[in-house]
Amino acid sequence: MAGLVTQLDKLDIDIIAALVEHPRAGELQLSRLLGVARGTVQARMQRLEEGGIITGYSPDIDLGAAGYPVQALVTLEIAQGALVEVTKHLEVIPEVLEAYATTGSGDVVCRIASRSHQDLQVALLRLNRSAHVTRSTSVIVLSVVVPYRVLPLLREKPLSAPGRSPVYRLSKTPPKPHSSNTIPSLPGDALADTQVVT
């Protein structure tokens, strides 16, 4: 059930890492890359999806390459108790990529994108049209220093998994994938006796 806290072990994290590296990989390819049974991968992925950890398989979009190279972070100060109204206002502005309610001097922080500085100015004016926005402060993003990532955090302190399948347990790290797009062939019975662990 989504919303419940799911404790991740190393195999869970390695499956997530493999999906990040090979977003089009199916369960069979993941099982070969990680050296575990296909049933194990299937059960783990189902648990990760049902636990709300894996929320989708959408492609990563480079906004700059898509024609929206100008981004800005905007801090909004809003009227007390007006978060619902401001949320509705932000949802109808397509340039708003995401927005967060925050503590501190500001109330909402938004990330917006546009095709040009002129379009950015138009978007900022639209943000301020809400009667519930009392003040806004914007800063233009010059470059990405650290892109969005989750793997370093997940890998920081993974849980141990004593019930790990034998093939996976032989190595502390999963086999490195081949540099080519082809999947390395495995002996016919390589995974036949691998225990499925969920």
37, part of any domain: yes
Distance (Å, rounded) from C-alpha 86 to C-alpha 186?
56
pLDDT of residue 157: 78
Q: Does 17 lie in the same domain as 42?
A: yes
Q: Does 134 lie in the same domain as 76?
A: yes
Q: How many CB atoms sit inside 10 A of residue 169's CB? A: 16
153, part of any domain: no
Q: Does 196 lie in the same domain as 167?
A: yes
Residues of the chain under the 70 pLDDT cut = 1-5, 160-198
pLDDT digits (tens, 9 = 90+) for 45-55: 999 999 999 99
What CATH number should be reported for the domain holding residue 31? Answer: 1.10.10.10
CB 159 within 8 A of CB 5: no
Q: Does 83 lie in the same domain as 126?
A: yes
Q: Does 85 lie in the same domain as 123?
A: yes
pLDDT of residue 186: 39
pLDDT of residue 135: 96
Q: How many domains does the chain have?
A: 2
Q: Which domain holds residue 13?
A: 1-60+159-198
CB 31 within 8 A of CB 37: yes
170, part of any domain: yes
State which of 140, 172, 190 marks the end of a domain: 140
Q: Does 50 lie in the same domain as 76?
A: no
108, part of any domain: yes
Distance (Å, rounded) from C-alpha 147 to C-alpha 65?
16
CB 74 within 8 A of CB 109: yes
